[in-house]
Amino acid sequence: MDITNAQRAKVLVHALPYIQEYTGKVVVIKYGGNAMINEKLKDSVMRDIVLLSLIGVKVVLVHGGGPEITDMLNKIGKKSEFVDGLRVTDKETIDVVQMVLAGKVNKDLVNLIENKGGSALGLSGVDGHMISAKTKHEKLGFVGEIESVNVKPINDVIDKGYIPVVSTVGCDENGNVYNINADTAAAKIAGELGAESLISMTDIAGILKDKDDVSTLIPVIKVSEIPNLIESGIISGGMIPKVECCIEAINLGVKHVFIIDGTISHAILVEMLTNEGIGTMFIDD
C-alpha cells in the first residue's frame, strides 16, 4: 500500500508519546513460536527490534528454540520425549540443546539483527554465570530450575551499545548445563534488569474469553483477576505457565507485561507504539 509523505509524518507524530515513554528504558522481548520459524515474520521481528534500538529503547531479546532442537534430535535419530510439556533432557540431549540454542539459533538471530542495521551480541545463560540453575526434577534430567540471575553481562553489552541476544541455557557450580524454559528466564531477567516492559510473543492473540473468537480478547488483566480466570477456564492448558511467568515478572517489579500474537507482522511496534495494541497487558493492582 502506497502512503503519502504527509501520512508518514502523521504516523510518526502519533508514535511520538510512546517513543518518549520507552526511550532509555529496558524492554525484554521473549521470542519463540511461529514468529521464530516463519522467515517473513522473523524479518518483521528483527526490523522492529532494530527500530526500537535506534530510537533509544534498550531491547533485550531472550529466545528459545524448541522446534530447532527437535529437528536436530531427529537428524541424529533421537526421539523427543515430553513430560508435562517439558522436554526430557538426558546427557546427549543437553549437548544438542546447548549446541542449537547457544550456537546456531543464537548466532542466526545476531546475524539477522546485524543485517537489518542493528548491533547485537549473543549471550547464553552460561556466560558470566548469568543463569544459575539446579535440577528441576530427576525424571526430567537436565531441565533446570533457576536459582538466581546475574544480569551484569547483559548490562555490560547494553552499555557498549549492543542488543543482547540471550539463549536460555543455565549452569550450576559443578559445570552442569541445563535446559531452561524461555518464559521463566525472560521473566526473571526482566525483573532483575528493572525492565519497563516484558513482551512475550506467542501464537495466539492473547487471553480470549472465548478461545475460538478473537473478538473476545481481554486487553488488560489485573493480577488479582487471574485466579478467577483460571478457575473459569478462560486461562487454561499451556497458557497457565505463561501467565504465571507474567505474574512473576510483575511481582519482580516489571511495570507492564504483554502477551501478543507473534504471527502478526510488526506486532511489537503495534503493541508498543500505538494507543490500541494487539495483545493482553498484565498489570499490578
Region 200-211: mean pLDDT is 88
Is residue 125 within 8 A of residue 167, CB to CB? The reply is: yes
Output the pTM of the full model: 0.92
Residue linked to cell 517489579: 253
What's the rounded mean pLDDT across residues 74-89?
86
What three-state secondary structure class fits 157? helix
Q: How far is the C-alpha of 106 from the C-alpha of 109, rounded, in Å?
A: 5
Burial of 9 (0-12, 13-18, 19+ CB in 10 A): exposed
Burial-class residue 285 by CB neighbours within 10 Å (0-12, 13-18, 19+): exposed
What Rg do the C-alpha atoms of the chain give, in angstroms? Answer: 19
Report in angstroms the alpha-carbon separations of 219 from 26, 36, 68, 90, 194.
22, 24, 32, 40, 23
Instruction: Report the C-alpha gap between 208 and 225 in whole angstroms.
Output: 14
Q: ∠ at Cα 66 (129, 188), nearest 5°?
A: 40
d(CA 158, CA 139): 38
Report whether pLDDT(202) > 90: no
pLDDT at position 87 is 87
Using DSSP, state whether 31 is helix, strand or coil.
Answer: strand
Residue at 18: amino acid letter: Y
Find which of 43-47, 67-71, 110-114, 236-240 is predicted with most confidence, using mean pLDDT: 110-114
Using 50, 70 and 90 to split pLDDT, how confident is the model at 181?
Answer: very high
Mapped onto helix, strand or coil, the DSSP state of residue 118 is coil
At 86, the pLDDT band (50, 70, 90 cuts) reads confident
3 compared with 42, residue with greater pLDDT: 42
**Percent of the chain surpassing pLDDT 90:** 65
Count the alpha carbons within 13 Å of 85 in the hemisphere toward its beta carbon.
Answer: 10
pLDDT at 158: 97
Helix (H) or strand (E) holding 192: helix 182-193
Mean pLDDT to the nearest integer, 66-88: 87
Say which CATH superfamily domain 25-283 falls into.
Answer: Acetylglutamate kinase-like (3.40.1160.10)
Question: Averaged over 100-125, what is the pLDDT?
Answer: 95
Domains of the chain by residue range:
25-283
Burial state string for 88-116 with b = 16 or more CB within 10 A and e = fewer than 16: bbeeebbebbbebbbeebbebbbebbbeb
**What pLDDT, on the 0 to 100 scale, is given for residue 204?**
82
Size of the chain in residues: 285
Give the pLDDT of residue 273: 87
Average pLDDT, the chain: 91
Q: How confident is the model at residue 11 (pLDDT cuts 50, 70, 90)?
A: confident
Closest among 235, 218, 137 to 181, alpha carbons compared: 137
- Report the 10 Å Cβ neighbour count for 69: 22
- List pLDDT tens digits, range 225-243: 999 999 999 998 888 888 9
- Which of 83-87, 169-173, 261-265 shows the lowest mean pLDDT across its residues? 83-87
The Cα 232–Cα 269 span in angstroms is 32
- Cα 117 from Cα 114, distance rounded (Å): 5
Residue 262 pLDDT > 70, yes or no? Answer: yes
> Residue 34 above 70 pLDDT?
no
